[in-house]
């Protein structure tokens, strides 16, 4: 995750290849006053579907943030 100048990262996401597929770790430094890490193991097909969903969500967010000008 890219940090903004003068601002600490609020979360991190790490992906690691393992024999079963992919291990995803989402870390939140302060969740209800405690640090939390959630780990999920996905097979290759699940990891691809998850990556596609993240890309789609990012694209949707970009379109909503930067709408096309009306012609």
List pLDDT tens digits, range 8-47. 668 899 999 999 999 999 999 888 888 999 999 999 999 9
**In degrees, to the nearest 5, what angle opens at C-alpha 57 toward C-alphas 52 and 62?**
125
When computed from its CA atoms, the radius of gyration of the chain, rounded to whole angstroms, is 16
What mean pLDDT is predicted for residues 46-65? 91
49 backbone φψ class: left, alpha, beta (φ>0; ψ -120 to 50): alpha
Q: Which stretches of the chain are DSSP H helices? A: 44-65
What's the predicted TM-score (pTM) here?
0.64
Residue 5 has pLDDT above 90, yes or no: no
Q: What's residue 21's pLDDT? A: 94
* Close Cβ partners of 62 (under 8 Å, ≥ 6 residues apart): none
């Amino acid at each position: 995750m890219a940090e903004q100048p003068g601002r600490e990262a609020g979360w991190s996401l790490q992906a690691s290849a393992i024999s079963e597929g992919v291990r995803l770790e989402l870390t939140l430094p302060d969740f209800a006053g405690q640090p939390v890490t959630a780990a999920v193991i996905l097979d290759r097909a699940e990891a691809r579907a998850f990556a596609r969903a993240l890309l789609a969500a990012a694209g949707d967010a970009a379109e909503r943030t930067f709408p096309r000008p009306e012609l």
